[in-house]
Amino acid sequence: MRKSIATVSVSGTLAEKLTAISAAGFDGVEIFENDLLVSPLSPEEVRARARDLGLGIDLYQPFRDFEAVPGDVLAGNLRRAERKFEVMERLGATLLLVCSSVSPDAIDDDELAAEQLRLLAERAAGHGISIAYEALAWGRHVNEYLHAWRIVRMADHPNLGTCLDSFHILSRGSDPIGIEAIPGDKVFFLQLADAPLLAMDVLQWSRHYRCFPGQGTFDLAGLVTHVLETGYAGPLSLEVFNDGFRQADAGRTSLDAMRSLIALEEAAARRRGTTPPIPPPVIPSGFAFAELSVPPAVPSAIASAVSAGDPPGPPDPPGLPRHPPELSALLAALGFVRTGTHPGKPVELWEQGEARILLNATGDEPALAAIGLESPDPAGSVKRAESLLSPVLPRHRAPREARLDAIAAPDGTELFFCRTEHPGHSSWTDDFRPRAEGTARAPAAEGITHIDHVALTQPRHHFDEAALFYRGVLGLRPQESLEVPDPYGLLRSKAMSSEDGALRMVLNINQVGAQHIPWQHIALACDDIVATAHRLRAAHPGLLLPVPANYYDDLAARYDAPPELRELGLLYDRDEHGEFLHLYTITAGRVFFEIVQRVGDYQGYGAANAPVRLAAQHAWGGQRSSTMNVTPSA
Amino acid sequence: MRKSIATVSVSGTLAEKLTAISAAGFDGVEIFENDLLVSPLSPEEVRARARDLGLGIDLYQPFRDFEAVPGDVLAGNLRRAERKFEVMERLGATLLLVCSSVSPDAIDDDELAAEQLRLLAERAAGHGISIAYEALAWGRHVNEYLHAWRIVRMADHPNLGTCLDSFHILSRGSDPIGIEAIPGDKVFFLQLADAPLLAMDVLQWSRHYRCFPGQGTFDLAGLVTHVLETGYAGPLSLEVFNDGFRQADAGRTSLDAMRSLIALEEAAARRRGTTPPIPPPVIPSGFAFAELSVPPAVPSAIASAVSAGDPPGPPDPPGLPRHPPELSALLAALGFVRTGTHPGKPVELWEQGEARILLNATGDEPALAAIGLESPDPAGSVKRAESLLSPVLPRHRAPREARLDAIAAPDGTELFFCRTEHPGHSSWTDDFRPRAEGTARAPAAEGITHIDHVALTQPRHHFDEAALFYRGVLGLRPQESLEVPDPYGLLRSKAMSSEDGALRMVLNINQVGAQHIPWQHIALACDDIVATAHRLRAAHPGLLLPVPANYYDDLAARYDAPPELRELGLLYDRDEHGEFLHLYTITAGRVFFEIVQRVGDYQGYGAANAPVRLAAQHAWGGQRSSTMNVTPSA
In this predicted structure, the answer to whether residue B624 has a pLDDT above a threshold of 60 is: no
Our measurement of the distance from residue B470's CA atom to the centroid of its chain's CA atoms, rounded to an integer in Å, reads: 7
User: How would you classify residue B626: left for phi > 0, otherwise alpha for psi between -120 and 50, otherwise beta?
Assistant: alpha
Task: Give the mean model confidence (pLDDT) for residues A216-241.
Answer: 92
pLDDT band at B471 (very low <50, low <70, confident <90, very high): very high
Residue B269 distance to chain A (closest CA, Å): 36
Quick check: do B3-272 and B286-620 share a fold? no
Beta bridge mates, A406:
A416
Task: Give the mean model confidence (pLDDT) for residues A518-540.
Answer: 93
Task: Give the mean model confidence (pLDDT) for residues B192-212.
Answer: 85
A247:B489 CB<8 A:
yes
Please give the residue that has the higher pLDDT: either B18 or B558. Answer: B18
B614:A489 CB<8 A:
no
What residues in B contact A616, CB-CB < 8 Å? 38, 40
How far from B238 is each of A259, B163, B463, CA to CA, in Å? Answer: 46, 13, 19
Residue B201 distance to chain A (closest CA, Å): 5
- Which of A316, A487, A632 lies nearest to residue B512, judging by beta carbons? A632
Residue of B nearest to A14 (CA): B487
In this predicted structure, the answer to whether residue B472 has a pLDDT above a threshold of 90 is: yes
Q: Residue A182 contacts by C-beta under 8 Å, 6 or more apart in sequence?
A: A149, A162, A230
- What is the predicted pLDDT for the residue at A193? 93
Please state, in angstroms and rounded to a whole number, the distance separating the CA atoms of residues B531 and A517: 55
What residues in B contact A243, CB-CB < 8 Å? 490
In this predicted structure, the answer to whether residue A620 has a pLDDT above a threshold of 70 is: yes
Residue B512 distance to chain A (closest CA, Å): 6
Model pLDDT for residues B475-490, shown as the tens digit of each residue: 999 887 888 888 888 8
CB of A561 within 8 Å of a chain B CB? The answer is: no
- Nearest Cα neighbor of A524 from A588, A599, A622, A446 is A446
Q: Residue B630 contacts by C-beta under 8 Å, 6 or more apart in sequence?
A: A513, A514, B459, B460, B461, B514, B515, B516
Our measurement of the distance from residue B221's CA atom to the centroid of its chain's CA atoms, rounded to an integer in Å, reads: 18
B199:A198 CB<8 A:
no
What residues in A contact B612, CB-CB < 8 Å? 37-38
The overall longest dimension of chain A from CA atoms, in Å, is: 91
* A606 phi/psi in degrees, rounded to 5: 70, 35
- The fraction of chain A above a pLDDT of 70, given in percent, is 90
Amino acid at site A15: A
In this predicted structure, the answer to whether residue A586 has a pLDDT above a threshold of 70 is: yes
* Beta-strand relationship, B414-418 and B405-408: antiparallel
A243:B614 CB<8 A:
no
Look at the alpha carbons of A602, A605, A610, A613 in this order and tell me if their dihedral is positive or negative. positive
- Nearest Cα neighbor of B556 from A46, A73, A43, A86 is A86
Which region among A211-220, A513-522, A583-592, B130-139 has the lowest average model confidence (pLDDT)? A513-522
- Mutation site for B-interface testing, chosen from A550, A558, A631 by largest number of B Cβ within 10 Å: A550
- What is the predicted pLDDT for the residue at A2? 93
In this predicted structure, the answer to whether residue A378 has a pLDDT above a threshold of 70 is: yes
In this predicted structure, the answer to whether residue B188 has a pLDDT above a threshold of 90 is: yes
pLDDT band at B473 (very low <50, low <70, confident <90, very high): very high
CB of B549 within 8 Å of a chain A CB? The answer is: yes
CB of A76 within 8 Å of a chain B CB? The answer is: no
Please state, in angstroms and rounded to a whole number, the distance separating the CA atoms of residues B165 and B583: 47
Please state, in angstroms and rounded to a whole number, the distance separating the CA atoms of residues A464 and A214: 9
Residue of A nearest to B610 (CA): A38
In this predicted structure, the answer to whether residue B317 has a pLDDT above a threshold of 50 is: no
What residues in B contact A13, CB-CB < 8 Å? 319, 487, 615, 618-619
- The enclosing H or E element of A413 equals none
In this predicted structure, the answer to whether residue B388 has a pLDDT above a threshold of 90 is: yes
CB of B318 within 8 Å of a chain A CB? The answer is: yes
For residue A486, the SS3 value is strand
Query: Would you tell me how many other CB atoms lie within 10 Å of the CB of residue A315?
Result: 18
Q: Please state the length of chain B.
A: 634
Residue A137 distance to chain B (closest CA, Å): 15
Which region among A1-15, B90-104, B550-564 has the lowest average model confidence (pLDDT)? B550-564
CB of A612 within 8 Å of a chain B CB? The answer is: yes
Task: Tell me what percent of chain B is helix, strand and coil, each rounded to the nearest 5.
Answer: 35, 25, 40
- Which of A34, A42, A79 lies nearest to residue B611, judging by beta carbons? A34
What residues in B contact A556, CB-CB < 8 Å? 83
Residue B113 distance to chain A (closest CA, Å): 21
Task: Give the mean model confidence (pLDDT) for residues A136-141.
Answer: 95
Please state, in angstroms and rounded to a whole number, the distance separating the CA atoms of residues B13 and A489: 11
Instruction: Output the DSSP codes for A81-119.
Output: HHHHHHHHHHHT--EEEEEPP--TT--S-HHHHHHHHHH
Look at the alpha carbons of A106, A111, A114, A120 in this order and tell me if their dihedral is positive or negative. negative
- What is the predicted pLDDT for the residue at A369? 92
In this predicted structure, the answer to whether residue B305 has a pLDDT above a threshold of 60 is: no
* A517 phi/psi in degrees, rounded to 5: -95, 110
Cis peptide before A196 (omega within 30 of 0): no
- The enclosing H or E element of B525 equals strand B520-526
Are A370 and A414 within 8 A, CB to CB? Answer: yes
* Beta-strand relationship, B355-360 and B286-293: parallel
In this predicted structure, the answer to whether residue A627 has a pLDDT above a threshold of 60 is: no
pLDDT band at A411 (very low <50, low <70, confident <90, very high): confident
Between chain A and chain B, how many beta carbons pairs sit less than 8 Å apart?
186
In this predicted structure, the answer to whether residue A313 has a pLDDT above a threshold of 70 is: no
pLDDT band at A488 (very low <50, low <70, confident <90, very high): confident
- Mutation site for A-interface testing, chosen from B9, B38, B243, B516 by largest number of A Cβ within 10 Å: B38
Model pLDDT for residues A184-207, shown as the tens digit of each residue: 999 999 999 999 887 777 888 888
- What is the predicted pLDDT for the residue at B621? 65
- What is the predicted pLDDT for the residue at A301? 43
Residue B32 distance to chain A (closest CA, Å): 12
Burial of A625 (0-12, 13-18, 19+ CB in 10 A): middle
| Best CATH choice for the domain B286-620 from the list 3.10.180.10, 3.40.710.10, 3.30.420.40, 3.40.50.2300 | 3.10.180.10
Reply yes or no on domain A3-272 having CATH 3.20.20.70: no
B551:A511 CB<8 A:
no
Please state, in angstroms and rounded to a whole number, the distance separating the CA atoms of residues A448 and A445: 7
In this predicted structure, the answer to whether residue B627 has a pLDDT above a threshold of 60 is: no
3-state SS string for B194-234: ECCCCCECHHHHHHHECECCCCCCCCHHHHHHHHHHCCCCC
Task: Give the mean model confidence (pLDDT) for residues B466-473.
Answer: 94
In this predicted structure, the answer to whether residue B308 has a pLDDT above a threshold of 80 is: no
CB of A18 within 8 Å of a chain B CB? The answer is: no
Please state, in angstroms and rounded to a whole number, the distance separating the CA atoms of residues A185 and A214: 27
- Nearest Cα neighbor of A69 from A22, A113, A27 is A113
Model pLDDT for residues A446-478, shown as the tens digit of each residue: 789 999 999 999 887 888 999 999 999 999 998
CB of A547 within 8 Å of a chain B CB? The answer is: no
Please give the residue that has the higher pLDDT: either B145 or A461. Answer: B145
- Which of A37, A204, A247 lies nearest to residue B550, judging by beta carbons? A37
Residue of B nearest to A620 (CA): B40
- What is the predicted pLDDT for the residue at B432? 86
Q: For all residues of chain A together, what is the average pLDDT?
A: 88
- What is the predicted pLDDT for the residue at B620? 78
DSSP state, residue B177: G
CB of A275 within 8 Å of a chain B CB? The answer is: no
Q: Scan residues 433-462 of A and list those with Cβ closer than 8 Å to B.
A: 461
Please give the residue that has the higher pLDDT: either A72 or A514. Answer: A72
- The fraction of chain B above a pLDDT of 70, given in percent, is 90
Residue A318 distance to chain B (closest CA, Å): 8
- Which of A42, A248, A546 lies nearest to residue B549, judging by beta carbons? A42
Our measurement of the distance from residue B86's CA atom to the centroid of its chain's CA atoms, rounded to an integer in Å, reads: 41
In this predicted structure, the answer to whether residue B116 has a pLDDT above a threshold of 90 is: yes
Complex ipTM: 0.82
Residue of A nearest to B82 (CA): A557
Cα angle A268, A60, A16; round to 5:
85
- The fraction of chain B above a pLDDT of 90, given in percent, is 70
Please state, in angstroms and rounded to a whole number, the distance separating the CA atoms of residues A127 and A157: 15
What residues in B contact A250, CB-CB < 8 Å? none
In this predicted structure, the answer to whether residue A440 has a pLDDT above a threshold of 70 is: no
What residues in A contact B627, CB-CB < 8 Å? 632
- Nearest Cα neighbor of A283 from A497, A522, A456 is A497
- What is the predicted pLDDT for the residue at B527? 93
Residue B223 distance to chain A (closest CA, Å): 26
Our measurement of the distance from residue A119's CA atom to the centroid of its chain's CA atoms, rounded to an integer in Å, reads: 45
Extents of the domains making up chain B: 3-272, 286-620
Residue A314 distance to chain B (closest CA, Å): 15
Please give the residue that has the higher pLDDT: either A261 or B588. Answer: A261
- The fraction of chain A above a pLDDT of 90, given in percent, is 70
Residue B252 distance to chain A (closest CA, Å): 14
